[in-house]
Amino acid sequence: MTVLLIACGAEKQATPTMEDFKYTVDRFADIEILRYRVPDFEKLSLQQKELVYYLNQAALEGRDILYDQNNKYNLLVRRTLETIYENYAGNKNSDEFQKLTTYLKRVWMGNGIHHHYSEDKFIPEFSEKFFEEALRSVESHCSAVLLPGESIDDLIDKIKPVIFDPTVFPKRTNQEAGVDLIKTSGVNFYDGVTQLEVENFYNKMKNPNDSTPISFGLNSKLVKENGVIVEKLYKENGLYGAAITRIVGWLEKAAGVAENDKQKDVINTLIAYYKTGNLKTYDDYSIKWVQDLASVVDFVNGFTETYSDPLGMKGTWESMVNFKNIEATKRTKIISDNAQWFEDHSPIDPKFKKEEVKGVSAKVITATILAGDCYPATPIGVNLPNSNWIRHEYGSKSVTVENITEAYDQASLGNGFAEEFMWSDVERDRAKKFASLTNNLHTDLHECLGHGSGKLLPGVDPDALKAYGSTIEEARADLFGLYYMGDPKMTELGLLPDKDAFKAEYYQYIMNGLMTQLTRIQPGKNVEEAHMRNRQLIAAWAYEKGKVDNVIEMKVRDGETFVVVNDYEKLRTLFGQLLAIIQQIKSTGNFEAGRDLVEAYAVKVNPTLHAEVLDRYKKLNLAPYRGFVNPVYSLVKDGAGKVTDVKISYDENYIDQNLRYSKEYSSLPTFN
């Protein structure tokens, strides 16, 4: 914990302006690291600042949990590499050591040995010989990574295949059809069990007639011990207990400075869940959290998203602390106030619509800390809770993280991307004028209304779509937002300033889905990540179905391919048609239809177009992925130890931050 002791009151700290702020921090491999501003932090009350500080600390304490969830050797790899980086006495300017540094930076970015987005294992460019020599040279510093009775030779034999062999854990989360997804995935949610055993284990727990079903498996590891399948809960005095105990300690401090009694109850219920691992308590927490609309400071903390589990059940640990952007939230309030209108006018079958939309709340937030599965890469929008029945009965909270989108936008100014890939000045000018607004608005619609729209028919298992569920759900939310982006209601409500502004989002979405997101795919690979599959599914389906009316064209000019949208109104109609199809799949739990749609449109890559896009992108010298460093917060105390302020600094770099986190927030054993 960083504490500054001063005798007098601190001067007011102003947020640096966008013009003065240095957004870019580092660049390596295919990654650019940015920093983000926290505008108006200084305007929070002292109590709110102190609350943010404690919630931030609780967020950072979960870091090692995610590493271990992503692969059982991740903590060993990270700690071994950090030991070499900090203690190596050889030439740190050598090519081999610089390549080791790059690999370590990639491990931090991916929270392990797999790429954070493609989920493929990345292989280091330094040699096995150099690695072994470097590790032996720091043997005296290796006590933290050597097991009792283990020699440096044992460590080398254990870790080298994990780092260097491309056939060992080749993919973090495998989505390939026709194989055992558990056996072929590198994640650490299961041990010694097959996919069929996992599905049978949890199917026996489920009651199809339960109107308030528990998210079985969300906070546990499923293992086979002595031939018996056992579920190990994440909780205090359970799996990950050392880290969870520290999370709870900071949450208890946060509860002591909560803004109001309702928020205090939310935090205390989360603490009770962490202590017991009881998923009914987690549902109680989720309901209380979604009903807390008065608090300015808010947070996500826990085992939340299930994208990394090939079966879509196990939650990865994540946290984001934030406070409400009052002015920008006026935009999302308009959306949430009209939620019933949007539901009623959705182009889906009426039997899949909610008769009464409950509890839809949306706000624009300023993130103060990113952690777990939100760090270093982070979402720009969040809609929670994920439980379908809680959404239906109590609603959901949706947020757009505007200080993160600001960082993206400011770091992208003048990078040449639009000039290279957009068809003409018409599209480029429209993007300059409207893209920032339309991107944020689409995120608002996606998170606030898209995820919260529609309903499952009675008796439908929320996990019925299995490995395809995440892609179908993201496509459903994206299509809801896209369909309404082009509705006259947007200008009527004052959400868009011009009736043609929506075209900026439509064009960029189709261009990205058909072409430019291919910059994130390695040659010869298919599309694996759920959000990328979602975007390709929508764009490829609209392109194919729109051919008869020439809605979208792929034009070649001077040997280069471009996307051209000829009819934006017909494109909107296509979005509505696909939304109706996907909502039916979701509402009825039609696994076969979901599988067929995803496999037909979302997975395969045109190798010729892919090669062209990669070549053109390479000439721009841009990084296709971005991550972030967090600001550093410190308590200011007077001579009596009373907190008088919370200071924020933007000076820490990527390497220093990750090394500090590994020292200050690393409570788990290397193997769990």
Spans of all domains in the chain: 3-41+50-55+633-664, 72-164, 325-364+385-626
Q: What sign results for the dihedral spanned by CA atoms 552, 557, 561, 562?
A: negative
Over residues 427-455, mean pLDDT: 94
**136-186: pLDDT as tens digits:** 999 999 998 999 999 999 999 999 999 999 999 999 999 888 899 999 999
Over residues 359-381, mean pLDDT: 94
Which of 452, 455, 393, 450 shows the shortest CA–CA distance to 587? 455
Amino acid 12: pLDDT: 61
Contact 490, 345 (CB under 8 A): no
Amino acid 4: pLDDT: 47
Q: Is the pLDDT of residue 10 over 60?
A: no
Strand partners, 381: 400
**89-130: pLDDT as tens digits:** 999 999 999 999 999 999 999 999 999 988 999 999 999 999
Amino acid 19: pLDDT: 86
Contact 41, 49 (CB under 8 A): yes
**523-555: pLDDT as tens digits:** 999 998 999 999 999 999 999 999 999 999 999
Q: Is the pLDDT of residue 382 over 70?
A: yes
Which of 103, 98, 114 shows the shortest CA–CA distance to 169? 114
CA–CA gap between residue 432 and residue 111 (Å, rounded) = 34
Percent of the chain with pLDDT over 90: 92
In this structure, what DSSP letter does residue 672 have? Answer: -
Q: The pTM is what? A: 0.87
**482-516: pLDDT as tens digits:** 999 999 999 999 999 999 999 999 999 999 999 99
Q: 376: cis peptide before it, omega within 30°?
A: yes
**326-345: pLDDT as tens digits:** 999 999 999 999 999 999 99
CA–CA gap between residue 535 and residue 512 (Å, rounded) = 8
CA–CA gap between residue 120 and residue 345 (Å, rounded) = 41
Among 2-6, 47-51, 628-632, which is the least confidently predicted range?
Answer: 2-6
**256-309: pLDDT as tens digits:** 999 999 999 999 999 999 999 999 999 999 999 999 999 999 999 999 999 999
**388-409: pLDDT as tens digits:** 999 989 999 989 999 999 999 9
Residue 522: other Cβ atoms inside 10 A: 13
CA–CA gap between residue 365 and residue 533 (Å, rounded) = 27
Q: Look at strands 317-324 and 297-303 and give their pairing.
A: antiparallel
Residue 623: both structure tokens together: 């990084």
Q: What is the mean pLDDT of the chain?
A: 95
Residue 269: both structure tokens together: 């219920």
Q: 16: cis peptide before it, omega within 30°?
A: no
Which of 218, 89, 113, 129 shows the shortest CA–CA distance to 169? 113
Amino acid 11: pLDDT: 53
Strand partners, 3: 635
| b/e burial code for range 532-555 (CB count within 10 A of at least 16 → b) | bbbbbbbbbbbbebbeeeebbeee
Phi-psi region of 142 (alpha: psi -120 to 50; beta: other; left: phi over 0): alpha
Contact 32, 411 (CB under 8 A): yes
Amino acid 413: pLDDT: 84
Sheet of 643-649, strands arranged across: 3-5, 632-637, 643-649
Backbone angles phi, psi at 319, to 5 degrees: -155, 145
Question: Rounded to 10 degrees, what is the CA torsion of 164, 165, 166, 170?
Answer: -100
Residue 178: both structure tokens together: 């026709």
* Amino acid letter, residue 464: A
Tell the residue number behind the tokens 């044992």, with chain if given: 154
In 3-state terms the chain splits into helix, strand, coil percentages (rounded to 5) of 50, 15, 35
Sheet of 381-384, strands arranged across: 297-303, 317-324, 360-372, 396-401, 381-384
Over residues 1-29, mean pLDDT: 73
Which of 26, 122, 10, 137 shows the shortest CA–CA distance to 74? 122
245: helix, strand or coil: helix
Backbone angles phi, psi at 425, to 5 degrees: -65, -25
**179-232: pLDDT as tens digits:** 999 999 999 999 999 999 999 999 999 998 899 999 999 999 999 999 999 999
CA–CA gap between residue 436 and residue 195 (Å, rounded) = 43
3-state SS of 314-356?
Answer: CCCEEEEEEEECCCCHHHHHHHHHCHHHHHHCCCCCHHHCCCC
Q: Is the pLDDT of residue 5 over 80?
A: no
Amino acid 8: pLDDT: 40
Residue 147: both structure tokens together: 């097991």
Tell the residue number behind the tokens 């994130």, with chain if given: 520
Amino acid 359: pLDDT: 81
